[in-house]
Structure 1
Amino acid sequence: MSETVLSPPVRIGRPSIGGLGILALALGALQSVVEPALPLLQRELGVGPAEGALVANTLLITGAVVTPIAGKLGDRYGGKRVLVRLMAVVSAGGLLAGLAPNLPVLLLGQVLQGVMVGALPLSFILVRKHLPPGRSQVAIGLVMALFTGGGMVGTLVAGPIAERLSWHWMFALPTIAIIATTVAVTRLMPHDPPIPSDDRIDWPGVVLLSGTLLAVMLGLVTVTSADLPPFAVGAIAVVVAALATGWVAVERRAASPMVDLRMLAKPAMWSASVLTFVITTSFGMVVFLIPQMFAVSADGYGFGISTTDIGLFLMPGAIAGAVSDSVGGIAVRRFGPRAVVIVGSVVTAATMIALASLHTAAWQLALAKVLTAFAAGVGTTALLAGTATAVEARETGIATSLLVVTRVIGVALGVQLGGAILAAGADPMTGRPAESAFVTGFAVAGLVAALSLLVVRVAKKGTQK
């Protein structure tokens, strides 16, 4: 009687790891070009802040949906196979955005680009399968570092590309790099065998969550950009509530849910989810409002800064956000997640309230972005690390994926709220937001951050009962 012997996985070398790293670099660049160029895109496309916020949010929405299922697809069908197909979708989205003649086509391109979020867990699957534990940790760190570095590159080059060529090229050039790198990864990376699984992909949950998020974002745009009668606003609210209720019902009954909502019943999990949502909503408002104020004409309260200079002013904040991810893990080990969240919330709230009163120099906005990016990064990383150690080992993947989804949704909602506030405070003749709209936006961002302190207090009382 013969036994089937499984051959060990093929080891990969530096060229394969380098290919994954360069792919992550190009993806990070494509993801980040919108933030500094958003005011320019609004001018070129003739849209207001609320519609402009959708350009950034559609990518985030797709990412929130793809994140929980990318790893499952990679395990089931093979990491390389799924990665190549996702990159084909991303490339189609990047090329579509690069050729987009109007906002709807650009939004469709951004939706397709959003599946890039799935590249990271798929890269980790490939690294784990083809490298021993010690080297795989180094390789994962390299991929993450290059993805973060790509975000910085995109922030810096978006302005020069858009101003010297056109905004279409800031999508097209990273996409060309992604296509070339994907071809290289296809040739260099060995195939990894799929892992048989009886778990079904929760496609109804995917569709309902996508619909809910899109309805929320489009609802905010519609309500703030048009003079709707009360029944129309109520109808939008009913649609959002119905989609959300349907998603919750599907997730509770699914054998293998996209997001295991039962985890939220645990005190450590629900408090971490609420805190992550509040922190990232506040930060999402900051991410949107600061570049908008940089771009407002210098005749009044703004600065009239070019897209290139906006990228330079945002760069320290991008660096602070990258550094915060590593600092957050150290801080939670030394002080605990509660203390880290409290300090981060106080810093963010104080910074935004101060910015609402004092925003007469560009360096003040740049400093505010640095402080809030660092505080938000440290806080959310501390919550992620604290939760990963608070739940049972077998629940770590479910818990952390839920927080990642919450993090993305919070940022998307914050961006859209910022756009809604500016749209509501825009001059009907010029379309330019009044200074009071920015003051309101900064103050609301600070108050939202301060809500974290209330959540921490309530959560502490709940655990003491």
Structure 2
Amino acid sequence: MNADQPAIPTIAPASASSVRAVVGLLVCVELVSGFVQGGTVLLTPAVRDMIHLSTAQIQWVVAVQFMATAVSVPVLGRLGDLYGHRRILRIALACIAIGATLVALAHTLPVLLIGRVLGGTTAALLPLEIALCRDRLNHKENRRAVALLAAALALGSLLGTLLTGPIYHFMGDVRYVLWVFVALVAACVLISWTAVPESGKRSTDAMDWPGAVLLGGALVIFLAAVSKGRSLGWGSPLIPAAVLVALALFGVWVRVERRRPDPLIDIRAVANRAVAPHLVSAFIFGVSLLAAPIVSIAYLDSAPEKTGYGFHLEAWQLSIWAGIPHVLAFATSTIAATVAGRIGMRRMLCLAFVLIAIGYGGLMVAHASLPLFGLAYAIAGAGAGLALAGLPTVIVESSATDRSAGTVAVYNNVYTIGGSVASAGFSALLGALVLPHTALPSVTAYLAVWGLCAAGAVIAAVLTLTAPAER
């Protein structure tokens, strides 16, 4: 054991009933996490007006939170493997609570930025919870627990998206809604101090702070370049220069990690056949999960009398139709463990990506019919639910027991980066393929986005089959 590593306390094993109770508590935490994340996106314009910010400033606030997430998730995940997942879960929840409080109190941009940076640790909760479940549960129960956590995240995001608007309308002041978020997160802090046990297996390595700084710097510069590409223009020399700097830093980080005995991320482990195909699939999954829905909602909202396509839905109709894939994702994620038990995890993931491919292919074919559009959207959502539960499960099961949270954190970052890159790419595509004499996207632009998602899902399905079968 390294000299700077604290002694590991002896932790008594939990009973089966107490373990099930713990999973229930963690599901509550993930439900709140999804609700706050979904509601935060919806309240972005209101928060902008609350502090009298420009559109460019609020976009920078959102970008900063993405950067904080990219940096904090692998760091907190690794710290959880080293010092206990429950301990770091409590710290992350405390940071989120403080951040939510600062956002609710904010009257200036700096205070809002600090609050959103602290809120960026929200994405670290799921890797820590999955690692904690893996440590305390057997193989079968762990799969069920991960599926429930993924389902809770999907359901929470759906509820946050659907209910935050009516709550805001009822309360009449965005600060009141932000205080509701504070209360929900504070309740999660209390939950983490009740019956949640500490993980018993810990890594005996030291924290790789040089690796964390290098990786964090590379991710921040890369995401900053992606987020500012549209405002500065993709032809600006600053964008490719920033991307090259980020790639150079990433290359240095890989060399450093391969030489360290206690790396932040075990490069050789995540690059092997058991993990790498699923990480590439996670990047592709981020495209369809994080970036494509925004494009689909824009299509649903488009007025056919102006564009020749779309359905020009009212706000409440848009919420219902946009919520269809979320409902299906929640439903299929709850049964993912059962499906994997019957046909195997690898086949289930292949099925997930096939459903996503069929769904987005269906959007291309049925984009002129709202019922058929909804059906195709539902099929894609069903596949997303299976992937949402299956990908972190298969990745954590392929990792060393003392690197569970850190490995799931890599998955989380990979699919987040996939969504960020695709958002920038789709934005450029919609801006390039426009109707004559207008700035409105043409239907060809939407078809291209859905076609890319369908093709990516096919690639992910093939990659899944290249991974080793379960033993």
Name the TM-score class by shorter chain.
Answer: 0.7 to 0.9
Give distance in 2, aligned partners of 1:54 and 1:152: 23
Could you tell me how far apart the structure 2 residues matched to 1:398 and 1:145 are?
A: 21
**1:262 deviation in Å?**
0.3
Q: 2:207 aligned with 1:201, yes or no?
A: yes
- Secondary structure of 2:275's aligned partner: helix
Instruction: Call closer, same or farther: CA 1:195–1:15 in 2, change over 3 Å.
Output: closer
Picking from 183, 186, 192, the partner of 1:179 is 186
Cα distance in 2 for partners of 1:435, 1:240 equals 34
2:225 is equivalent to residue 219 of structure 1: yes
> Aligned equivalents of 1:381 and 1:184: distance in 2?
23
Percent identity between the two aligned chains: 24
Q: Which residue of 1 aligns with 2:414?
A: 406
Checking the alignment, whether the CA contact within 8 Å between 1:36 and 1:314 is kept in structure 2 is: no
- Matched with 1:30 is 36
Match among 255, 275, 282 for residue 281 of structure 2: 275
Of residues 229, 250, 255, the one that matches 2:256 is 250
1:408 Cα deviation (Å)? Answer: 3.5
Residues 163 and 208 of structure 1, relative CA distance in 2, 3 Å threshold: farther
Unaligned runs of 5+ in 1: none
Q: Which whole-Å CA distance do the structure 2 matches of 1:43 and 1:432 have between them?
A: 26
How do 1:115-126 and structure 2 match up within 5 A?
Answer: 115-120=121-126, 122=128
Contact residue 80 and residue 189 of structure 1 kept, 8 A: no
- Partners of 1:285 and 1:445 within 8 A in 2: no
Q: Which residue identity does 1:247 align to in structure 2?
A: W
RMSD: 4.8
- Equivalent of 1:263 in 253, 269, 275: 269
On the 8 A contact 2:65/2:119 being kept in 1, the answer is: yes
| TM-score relative to the length of structure 1 | 0.75
- What is the alpha-carbon distance in structure 1 between the residues aligned to residue 31 and residue 47 of structure 2? 23
Q: Rate the CA distance shift 1:143–1:356 in 2: closer, same or farther, 3 A.
A: closer
* Counterpart AA for 1:410: G
Q: Which residue of 380, 385, 390 corresponds with 1:372? A: 380
Distance 1:217 1:341, change over 3 A: same
Displacement of 1:157 in angstroms is: 0.8
Deviation at 1:115, TM superposition (A): 0.9
In the alignment, residue 359 of structure 1 is paired with which amino acid?
H
Tell me, yes or no, if structure 1 residue 154 matches structure 2 residue 160.
yes
- Does 2:327 align with 1:319? yes
1:94, 1:109 within 8 Å by CA — same for their partners in 2? Answer: yes
Alignment-derived partner of residue 347 in structure 1: 355
**Alpha-carbon deviation of 1:152?**
3.0
- CA distance in structure 2 between the partners assigned to 1:106 and 1:291 by the alignment: 28
- In 2: Cα distance, 1:316 partner to 1:409 partner: 25
Structure 2 distance, partners of 1:426, 1:253, is 50
Shift of 1:29: 0.8
Note the alpha carbon deviations across 1:61-98, whole angstroms, 9 max, x for none.
54454444435434655555533432232123324444
Q: Partners in 2 of 1:279 and 1:193 — Cα distance?
A: 30
After superposition, the Cα gap between the structure-2 partners of 1:411 and 1:234, relative to the gap in structure 1 and judged at 3 Å, is closer
CA contact (8 A) 1:33 1:170 kept: no
- Corresponding residue for 1:448? 456
Q: Which moved more, 1:305-314 or 1:25-34?
A: 305-314
Question: Residues 206 and 258 of structure 1 are in contact (CA less than 8 Å); yes or no, is this contact kept in structure 2?
Answer: yes
**1:119/1:393 Cα in 2 relative to 1: closer, same or farther (>3 Å)?**
closer
Counterpart-to-counterpart distance in 2, 1:284 and 1:359: 20
Residues 85 and 431 (structure 1), Cα distance of their counterparts in 2 relative to 1, 3 Å cut: farther
Q: Structure 2 stretches of 5 or more lacking a match?
A: 1-8
Task: Answer yes or no: is the 8 Å Cα contact 2:127–2:408 preserved in 1.
Answer: no
Q: How does 1:286-365 map to 2 (within 5 A)?
A: 286-296=292-302, 300=306, 301-305=309-313, 308-336=316-344, 339-360=347-368, 362-365=370-373
- In the TM superposition, what whole-angstrom CA distance separates every residue of 1:264-314 from its partner, at most 9, and x where no partner exists? 442232222222322332333323212333444575344454555443333
Does the 8 Å CA contact 2:85/2:132 hold for their aligned counterparts? yes
CA contact (8 A) 2:426 2:449 kept: yes
